Amino acid sequence: MKLFLISISLKTVAALFVLLGMLASCTSTTVDEFRQGETGIESNESIVILGRRQASDYETRSEFVSCVGKHINRGENAIHVIPEQEFIDAMFPWFEPRTAPLRTRDLERLMAEDVIANKMMEFGIRYIIWVDGFTETTGRAGSISCTIGPGGGGCFGFGTWEDDANFDARIWDVSTMSAVGIISTDATGQSYMPAIIIPIPLIARVEANACSRLAAQLKSFVHGS
Amino acid sequence: MGTIGMKKFKVLGSAVALLSLAALTGCGVSNVVIEGNFPTPNINKLPISVAVYYDDALRDFSYIEYSETGREEFNIESGQSHIQLFNAVLPAMFDQVIYVDSIEEAQEYGVDAVFAPAIEEFQLALPTKTKLDVYEVWIKYNMRLLTVEGDYIADWVLTSYGKTPTESFRSVESAINDAAVVALRDLASSFSLSFAQVPEVRDWLDNH
């Protein structure tokens, strides 16, 4: 009878974990595209993806920018992406948070500087993509308490939270010095952390999903498909 | 007391000593030496020769951040990183740059002007105090451009700002360093791009 009860409770716990795992993997992502001009890229041309860092209360994480770049740089129809920091350092001091161009007419003014125009040509930059956004964690609920004693330790409880990733990508064509489109990504997902002796994080990969979906859309946008 | 009792007492004593050490370590001031790489600006050089003088206050500049209880929490040493930054920026701005140990020494080289930067104020904002998810650094400078005789050509204030977001698995010291490096890059960009637009400098360059 005792063994039967243990077996039932183990099955219940396992089922709970499977259910939570399925729920945790549920991330919904919406991608919107707004095209303003024709696009296309030659094999000898490159793009650069830069994070916007002008806002006072947040800044676009360089890890997200790098993630989008890596996705575009590989696979079918891969596009050569110049790493963000390499580009910013090479263009110093024109692409720092305070000096970076905010509009295409600022880019026009910038390209009038010979040093900038020559560097752009050296890199073979055809498109500059400005990524702006952040991931916000909301709706934290539950609690987990852990204890440790001479006989051992453990945790018990349950925690949950929601992540919401919102990112915009604005694409500028360097050859025409004009904005050619905007792609917006909104991803949300619920994460869970049950703790029975050890905490088991069941994390919704919200930012990772936003990154891969945005990258896929950008790749097809730049190719003009 | 038996041997086992004595051993238990020693183990307990060691544990108490370790805990006390950990507690004391937690109370100490944390030293942060700002380190970063500063690229050379891509700008057109001004056709002037400048002697650069870094005084001891700049060379040894450090800022102490106090906790809410008045305890010394962080000692941020940024003097050397400022010098590293100016050494990267100034040769890209002027035709000729020499470094001097005193303003008087500049006379021997027959330069057009002497540049002597100074830090007036340093501020740090930690997420634990601001409740924002960013570490922030503000620095206020007094930029001085002098004749070789020591008279002022221009004397202006410049502020720089840097921030870095909070991240899991990153130490506070590393975040402070990153925010300070962003502030130093901000200084380099605004200084190199605005130098010739400072009214007194512009007038002096026009008459030079």
Q: Which residue of A61, A93, A119 is in closest CB contact with B189?
A: A93
- For residue B12, being part of any structural domain is answered with no
Domain ranges of chain A: 2-223
| Digit-coded pLDDT (tens) for A124-150 | 999 999 999 999 988 889 999 999 888
Q: Which of B112, B142, B117 is nearest to B50 (CA)?
A: B112
User: How far apart are the C-alpha atoms of A187 and A137, rounded to whole Å?
Assistant: 12
- Is residue B10 one of the residues assigned to a domain? no
What is the reported pLDDT for B24? 47
**How is residue A156 written in tokens?**
């018990």
- Does residue A67 contact residue A135 with C-beta atoms inside 8 Å? no
Could you tell me if A146 and A154 are in contact, meaning their C-beta atoms sit under 8 angstroms apart?
Answer: yes
Residue B190 touches chain A, beta carbons under 8 Å: yes
CA distance B50 to B48: 6
Q: What is the pLDDT of residue B3?
A: 47
Q: Which of B39, B165, B182 sits opposite A92 (nearest CB)?
A: B39
pLDDT at B1 (0 to 100): 44
Q: Could you tell me which residue, A11 or B107, shows the higher pLDDT? A: B107
Give the CATH number of the domain where residue B82 resides. Answer: 3.40.50.10610
| B13 has a pLDDT exceeding 60 | no
Cis peptide preceding A199, ω within 30 of 0: no
On whether the CB atoms of residues A185 and A42 are closer than 8 A, the answer is no
Cβ-defined contact of B41 to A93 (cutoff 8 Å): yes
pLDDT in tens, A67-80: 999 999 999 899 99
Q: What is the pLDDT of residue B2?
A: 47
Task: Please name the helix (run of DSSP H) or strand (run of DSSP E) that holds residue B54, with its range, or none.
Answer: none
User: Which member of A57, A98, A115 has the closest CB to residue B189?
Assistant: A98
What pLDDT, on a 0 to 100 scale, did the predictor assign at position B197?
94
Nearest Cα of chain B lies from the Cα of A92 at a distance, in angstroms, of 5
Chain-chain contact of B189 with A92 (C-beta, under 8 angstroms): yes
Domain that holds residue B80: 29-207
- Whether B19 is in a domain gets the answer no
Q: How many CA atoms lie within 13 A of A29 on its CB side?
A: 23
Q: Which strands make up the sheet holding B72-77, listed edge to edge?
A: B30-33, B72-77, B62-66
- Contact state of A59 with B134 under an 8 Å Cβ cutoff: yes
Q: Please, is A119 exposed, middle or buried when counting C-beta atoms within 10 Å of its C-beta (0-12, 13-18, 19+)?
A: middle
User: Which pLDDT score is estimated for A225?
Assistant: 74
ipTM reported for the complex, 2 dp: 0.78
User: What pairs with residue A199 in β-bridges?
Assistant: A195
Which one of A53, A56, A92 would you mutate to disrupt binding with B, by most B Cβ within 10 Å of its Cβ?
A92
Query: In this complex, do B188 and A97 lie within 8 Å of one another by their Cβ atoms?
Result: no
Q: Residue B55, class by beta-carbon neighbours within 10 Å (0-12 exposed, 13-18 middle, 19+ buried)?
A: middle
Considering only CA atoms, which of A166, A149, A158, A168 is closest in space to residue A217?
A: A168
- A182 and A171 Cβ atoms separated by less than 8 Å: yes
User: How many separate domains does chain B show?
Assistant: 1
